[in-house]
Structure 1
Amino acid sequence: MSQIADAPPGTGAGGEDPPIAPESPRTRINWTVLIGSAAGILAITVWAIADAAGAEAVIGSLVAWVSTNMGWYYFLIVTLVVVFVLVLALTRVGKTKLGPDHSKPQFSMFTWASMLFAAGIGIDLMFFSVSEPVTQYLAPPQGDGGTVEAARHAMVLTLFHYGITGWALYALMGLALGYFAYRHNLPLSIRSALYPIFGRKVEGPLGHGVDIAALLGTIFGIATSLGIGVVQLNYGLSLMFGLPEDVSVQIGLIAVAVVMATASVLSGVEKGIRRLAELNVLLALALMVFILATGKTSFLLDGIIQNTGDVLSRFPGMTLDTFAYDRPGDWLQGWTLFFWAWWIAWAPFVGLFLARISRGRTIRQFVLGTLLVPFTFIVLFISIFGNSALDIVMNGNAAFGETAMAQPERAFYGLLEQYPAAPLIIGVATFTGLLFYVTSADSGALVMANFTSHLKDAEADGPKWLRVFWALVTGLLTLAMLSVGGVTALQNATIIMGLPLSILLLFIMLGLYRALRVEISLADSYRASLPGIISGRSTGGPSARTWRQRLSRAMSYPGPRQANHFVDTVALPALQEVHDELRAQGADAGLTTDVVEPCGIRHVDLQVELGDERPFKYQIYPVQYDVPSYARGEASTDAKYYRMEVFSLEGSHSYDLAGYSRDQVITDVLDHYETHLEFLHLNRAVPGNTALTEDQAARDNWESDFAHQEDTK
């Protein structure tokens, strides 16, 4: 069944149309955030290049302080995030959609999972999938290395660092951005998640500061991945073509990546980024299958099962294990603290990107999908490559183990050299790594362009020149940090940048809690209302239809002429009558109507402003469908028909008013109005918390929900 006009303009909580449709807004540059963030990045870059030794010393001192004094805080904050997102997903609020109630996902599950995986994990997965298991096996944080238990725990640590915790951070940020953008039509920006706490203050210096901090954390997180990627790809090219491992080659790699990322990001999410992400995942799968098939298949399959069981059973204890009684030297800051700070730094970037591609999914689908789909792939990838590497070391190849520890960028390639057709597989791996590298760079450039723009709607992106600008700046920062102290300097800078962003996570959780508490009250108010408001059926009384009327309505498929006749003779007079009575009783009610293009059918909107609380909206809107194959003989199955559906601020209620009488429509309006008042009553303890927005001027800048057609149906 095809539905090409399923959502009226402004539908979604707070997304109502103004009485006179304003001129379509255009994307503008947020110069405050752009100049502030660019100045900060430029200052750090110049400082790192001009005084490399001084920069390295300062960064090292700050990291030592954070590791000594704030390690407990990193462990606590990430654990809170895991618990918070799981509670949202597994309780009834998980049914809430990232968008109006009638919205549907834009991308298939495979495409969606490919993009979130490719954006959320860069080339560093290839870097650490071999080097970390070997390192943790030979030099574990506690206990003796080189034992069977050390091997098991090495895999658990690697999966722990790349597992549920990091993806929960992404899920929190993406959920907050997607919920407030698509459910409440606020800008797709970090500051929107703080609206329930600070209100209109987020539009001023507070919001600018939040966006600048998020952008700085984002660009350092991306630069860390790109720095790791440059070093690893440099070795791959050296292995394949004999190129030297030096800064000149790394500059060339950064330049190539910037060019490729620019070409990809200019083509947008639906084309370039989507296709690269899908190809990325397919190539990574091919590499996994090759190693599984040509290696010790039975051992690797056993390892996958055991590693999964080990990480699930040990996760609760590990997530709060701060090594209070036996701190393993610099291990904590070099591994767990670095990974948590890295995931936090990436969270605004990946979260905004996930929100950008997740409109129409429920909170439960979004959270569980974000946690489980990539983690399943990661378990397979790390178990196959990590166990293959451990098997080589455990069987006596000490040189391979030493190389993996001392020169981790060589570990992945060193593993591939142990297999048949090594030159070909190394070439595929290098190309896959380059795609991972480019996907991170182009997604990052797109997101940072959006961070520094006032977008006309949540489906828009920043200007193309701004995307190119951020691609270039990211490359420059990567080069500068590599010149300071290589990958270690990038890791240390990430730990520092992650600290202020972690505070932002606390506010985001509080803002989401306040907003979703209102969603629960709204659901409770509908459950307490008359059955007819859910089903769209009259429940008796003088306006009840006869069974013949009901049957006739069920078998009719009205076209534009019949739909307009219903609006003119039933819908508009009914809402006009309710509007007039509301006005007579002192309510601030408004009634608007306009023609929906291209079908030529009018919609009718009744709205009642309720002070600081969420306004009441009742909209009758034509929704087009294909006439089904089971339609009666005289109806053409090639034609379209229209359902006159009821929409509120939350979206479509998915029932059809066509065939109702004027009195029945009035009854339905009053059912909705009484339900809305019951909703406000349930929130009476905290007056004013049901409306995220404060005035029409703010709402005029939000997205038009109708701009995004659900053409996947």
Structure 2
Amino acid sequence: MMSQEIKARPDSPGEPSPEPTPAPQTRVNKTVFIGSAVGILAITAWAIVAPGNAEAVIGTLVSWVSVNMGWYYFLVVTLVVIFVLVAALTRVGKVRLGPDHSKPQFSMFTWASMLFAAGIGIDLMFFSVAEPLTQYLAPPQGAGETVEAARQAMVWTLFHYGITGWALYALMGLALGFFAYRHNLPLSIRSALYPIFGKKVEGPIGHTVDIAALLGTIFGIATSLGIGVVQLNYGLTLMFGLPENLAVQIGLIAIAVVMAVVSTVSGVEKGIRRLSELNVLLAGALMLFILIAGKTSFLLDGIIQNTGDVLSQFPGMTMDTFAYDRPDEWLSGWTLFFWAWWIAWAPFVGLFLARISRGRTIRQFVLGVMIVPFTFILLWISIFGNSALDIVMGGNTEFGEVGMNNPERAFYGLLEQYPMAPLIIAIATFTGLLFYVTSADSGALVMANFTSHLKDANSDGPKWLRVFWALVTGALTLAMLSVGGVLTLQNATVVMGLPLSILLLFIMYGLYKALKVESSRMDSYRSSLPGIISSRSGSEARGGRSWRQRLTHVLTYPGRKQAQRFIDEVARPALQEVHDELATQGADVTLTSGSAGPGGVGHVDLTVNLGSERAFKYQVYPVQYDTPSYALKSASTTDKYYRIEVFSLEGSNGYDLLGYTKEQVITDVLDHYETHLEFLHSNRATPGNTAITDDHLASDNWEADFTNTEERS
């Protein structure tokens, strides 16, 4: 909107109007694209040409990480959990990922479906049976095949798939969404470091960060896809007798890449969204079948006990480094692998979550990301894991051995124990394929965004670039499978997660600095509130109107002409007087206007530049709403009416100026200006500038913010 308008300064009417600013276009970030593509293709070629050497090098690196850096992984993920919970549960949790007036674009069900399907996938089917069986038969500590071992097996599985991982996703998504939608920075990893490095993130520092994040991300995705391929291969073996070999897996990768290309090219609102919703519905139906067809009472008991166990033991487990009896091989194969895997997926899933979460508060976002998917995971793992343990504890040790030694067969082995096994296996295979595709298409979309200069935070990378990354991800998955199968992919993920964990520490620090500024802003409103209330109280503040006149205004729903008349006869003259007085006092102040509002109604913007600190902005902007059915009087000839709202850099202040006199508008401007200066004063206790960007503006497209409601979905 505003980026297209022709702005004119009222204090220099003789000057020609400048040309409209050209609309930004999405283009490829050549440095990040070439750097990451060359790196990934080189690793892929190395794995194909010298598989033995690749496997040996990766094995050596993962052993070193396991022995020397295990404590570091535990510390980082614990700090992340604490950080995101503090951000959500303190007062900054009220801050929105966008302007103050913005609303979520997707309904809760659609949002939860998309974040769940993007964050996990077929690997949940893989580990929900295989890990409980493995931890029961060969636990890290104590004797296996006991009641206590069964109980702890479920706790370990839920611990690895639970709160910690989703906290990592929440941190990355929170940082990206906050800086992109509230501070108008690019939706990329580098933006989260802006409070630390400033404009340097636009150069080599930013390119390095984005390349590192993309390298880690593609290995995390490739690991999930590799797990999916071997499991789907076994499912097709059961259904059609196909062999379990690399040739079939190549075919599966090719099919999934084609489906991913079709899905990701159609975009978030169509392909990815619809697949995600279907995905969750099928997974839920499969879970309910096992619950009803199995030992329902036992499984319900297990859900309650597993929930209590994991919540009560979580604080101790999250810092348990096994210092006195360290099972290095178990740690690298389980806890460290999972932490590195979650970290590697964090940029990918975090960016995707930010992409679909504009308008949600920090509290809604963090608690939603940490609670909604984990609730489903808890139910899924409890039902499938306890069902598997019940079979083994009932005497079927062969099933347990197969599940531990051939984990890709564990899930299907469980389904074979139930009625209508062929049908259920077919549904499970199709569900797994959808999980596989939603991971691949979401990954291709996000990696295209990583390697692009997006025209705005709501746009996506070029379609050809999404296709490229879908193909490269398939090639990397194939290369790693040819080297040493799923184990090599797991080991590579542990190694690649290490540099990304360092990036998480910088992101937490950058977000901490930015949220301190938000806290100062809240303090300024609280300090200024008594004066604002006083200035707006009394009959003079109401323009001397009688109560009948005030009631008439409340019951009137103005049309376009009334809104434009108010802008021309009240708002613009009022802001002109303030502008002239500020200019006389020596302030660096500008007044701009345009006619790009809803229905062509104009708007007026007063901006006071304050050097390196955040500028003051008072924007009078028309907002169009549907006329309510209870409206008694309407000056509009359509089903729309107008409010003239005040916008600051953070968004709409949520009240209507229509009916104010010129003097009242001037008073309102001064109230806001005093509040802004109080904010700058409060923030002096926080090191660094209050400005995130030079043209700090949360959103120019105000009208879209008011139409992106929950009902839209």
TM-score after normalising by structure 1: 0.95
Could you report, residue by residue, the CA deviation over 1:237-295 in whole angstroms, capped at 9, with x for unpaired residues?
01100001001000000000000000000000000000000000000000000000100
SS at match of 2:96: coil
SS at match of 1:684: helix
- 2:266 is aligned with 1:254: no
Contact preservation (8 Å) 1:98, 1:362 = yes
Equivalent residue runs for 1:264-283 within 5 Å: 264-283=263-282
Amino acid at match of 2:411: F
SS at match of 1:622: strand
Equivalent residue runs for 1:94-493 within 5 Å: 94-493=93-492
Amino acid at match of 1:305: I
Could you report, residue by residue, the CA deviation over 1:169-210 in whole angstroms, capped at 9, with x for unpaired residues?
000000000000000010000000000000000000000000
Contact preservation (8 Å) 2:516, 2:686 = no
* 1:15 corresponds to: none
SS at match of 2:599: coil
The separation in 2 between residues aligned to 1:325 and 1:688, in whole angstroms, is: 44
The separation in 2 between residues aligned to 1:261 and 1:538, in whole angstroms, is: 60
What's the offset of the Cα at 1:553? 1.7
Change over 3 Å in CA distance of 1:146–1:668 after alignment to 2: same
Change over 3 Å in CA distance of 1:144–1:674 after alignment to 2: same
Change over 3 Å in CA distance of 1:532–1:603 after alignment to 2: farther
What's the offset of the Cα at 1:596? 2.6
What's the offset of the Cα at 1:658? 0.1
Could you report, residue by residue, the CA deviation over 1:608-642 in whole angstroms, capped at 9, with x for unpaired residues?
10000000000111111122222225667962110
Amino acid at match of 2:520: S
The separation in 2 between residues aligned to 1:445 and 1:711, in whole angstroms, is: 25
Contact preservation (8 Å) 2:92, 2:518 = yes
Could you report, residue by residue, the CA deviation over 1:513-539 in whole angstroms, capped at 9, with x for unpaired residues?
000000011011111114585899545
Say how many residue pairs are matched: 697
Contiguous gaps of at least 5 residues in structure 1: 1-7, 12-17
SS at match of 1:182: helix
Change over 3 Å in CA distance of 1:597–1:603 after alignment to 2: closer
The separation in 2 between residues aligned to 1:311 and 1:136, in whole angstroms, is: 15
Contact preservation (8 Å) 1:10, 1:704 = no
What's the offset of the Cα at 1:364? 0.1
The separation in 1 between residues aligned to 2:157 and 2:526, in whole angstroms, is: 46
The separation in 2 between residues aligned to 1:30 and 1:633, in whole angstroms, is: 54
* 1:671 corresponds to: 671
SS at match of 1:592: strand
Report the RMSD for the aligned CA atoms in angstroms.
1.9
699-708 vs 202-211, which deviates more? 699-708
Change over 3 Å in CA distance of 1:674–1:19 after alignment to 2: farther
Could you report, residue by residue, the CA deviation over 1:347-384 in whole angstroms, capped at 9, with x for unpaired residues?
00000000000000000000000000000000000000
Contact preservation (8 Å) 2:101, 2:705 = no
* 1:71 corresponds to: 70
591-600 vs 99-108, which deviates more? 591-600
Change over 3 Å in CA distance of 1:701–1:484 after alignment to 2: farther
Amino acid at match of 1:594: G
Change over 3 Å in CA distance of 1:201–1:663 after alignment to 2: same
- 2:587 is aligned with 1:590: no
What's the offset of the Cα at 1:604? 0.7
The separation in 1 between residues aligned to 2:152 and 2:18, in whole angstroms, is: 63
* 2:606 corresponds to: 606
338-347 vs 590-599, which deviates more? 590-599
* 1:511 corresponds to: 510
Change over 3 Å in CA distance of 1:538–1:657 after alignment to 2: farther
361-370 vs 621-630, which deviates more? 621-630
The separation in 2 between residues aligned to 1:536 and 1:645, in whole angstroms, is: 19
Amino acid at match of 1:710: T
* 1:568 corresponds to: 568
Change over 3 Å in CA distance of 1:213–1:536 after alignment to 2: farther
Contact preservation (8 Å) 1:457, 1:704 = no
The separation in 2 between residues aligned to 1:19 and 1:356, in whole angstroms, is: 34
Could you report, residue by residue, the CA deviation over 1:131-152 in whole angstroms, capped at 9, with x for unpaired residues?
0000000000000000000000
* 1:45 corresponds to: 44
- 2:707 is aligned with 1:710: yes
What's the offset of the Cα at 1:688? 4.9
The separation in 2 between residues aligned to 1:477 and 1:51, in whole angstroms, is: 14
What's the offset of the Cα at 1:63? 0.4
Change over 3 Å in CA distance of 1:633–1:181 after alignment to 2: closer
Change over 3 Å in CA distance of 1:657–1:59 after alignment to 2: same
Equivalent residue runs for 1:616-635 within 5 Å: 616-632=616-632
* 2:12 corresponds to: none
Change over 3 Å in CA distance of 1:596–1:636 after alignment to 2: closer
Amino acid at match of 1:658: L
Amino acid at match of 1:350: V
* 2:682 corresponds to: 682
* 2:8 corresponds to: none
The separation in 1 between residues aligned to 2:534 and 2:31, in whole angstroms, is: 49
The separation in 2 between residues aligned to 1:110 and 1:533, in whole angstroms, is: 40
Could you report, residue by residue, the CA deviation over 1:210-233 in whole angstroms, capped at 9, with x for unpaired residues?
000000000000000000000000
The separation in 2 between residues aligned to 1:46 and 1:143, in whole angstroms, is: 43
What's the offset of the Cα at 1:121? 0.2
The separation in 1 between residues aligned to 2:703 and 2:535, in whole angstroms, is: 23
Could you report, residue by residue, the CA deviation over 1:458-512 in whole angstroms, capped at 9, with x for unpaired residues?
0000000000000000000000000111000000000000000000000000000
SS at match of 1:528: helix
Amino acid at match of 1:22: T
What's the offset of the Cα at 1:557? 1.0
The separation in 2 between residues aligned to 1:536 and 1:380, in whole angstroms, is: 55
The separation in 2 between residues aligned to 1:491 and 1:30, in whole angstroms, is: 30
* 1:5 corresponds to: none
Amino acid at match of 2:481: L
320-329 vs 223-232, which deviates more? 320-329
SS at match of 2:614: strand
* 2:85 corresponds to: 86
The separation in 2 between residues aligned to 1:97 and 1:389, in whole angstroms, is: 43
What's the offset of the Cα at 1:541? 4.5
Amino acid at match of 1:66: V
Amino acid at match of 1:99: G
What's the offset of the Cα at 1:706? 4.7
Amino acid at match of 2:403: A
SS at match of 2:556: coil
SS at match of 1:590: strand
Contact preservation (8 Å) 2:182, 2:698 = no
347-356 vs 589-598, which deviates more? 589-598
Contact preservation (8 Å) 1:457, 1:703 = no
What's the offset of the Cα at 1:42? 1.0
The separation in 2 between residues aligned to 1:155 and 1:89, in whole angstroms, is: 28
Could you report, residue by residue, the CA deviation over 1:615-672 in whole angstroms, capped at 9, with x for unpaired residues?
0000111111122222225667962110101100010011000000000000000000
Could you report, residue by residue, the CA deviation over 1:1-42 in whole angstroms, capped at 9, with x for unpaired residues?
xxxxxxx7489xxxxxx9864111100100000000011101
Could you report, residue by residue, the CA deviation over 1:311-361 in whole angstroms, capped at 9, with x for unpaired residues?
000000000000000112400000000000000000000000000000000
Contiguous gaps of at least 5 residues in structure 2: 5-16
The separation in 1 between residues aligned to 2:636 and 2:594, in whole angstroms, is: 28
The separation in 2 between residues aligned to 1:86 and 1:659, in whole angstroms, is: 43
Contact preservation (8 Å) 2:555, 2:633 = no
Contact preservation (8 Å) 2:170, 2:365 = yes
User: Identical aligned pairs, as a percentage?
Assistant: 78
Contact preservation (8 Å) 1:9, 1:707 = no
The separation in 1 between residues aligned to 2:535 and 2:356, in whole angstroms, is: 32
* 2:13 corresponds to: none
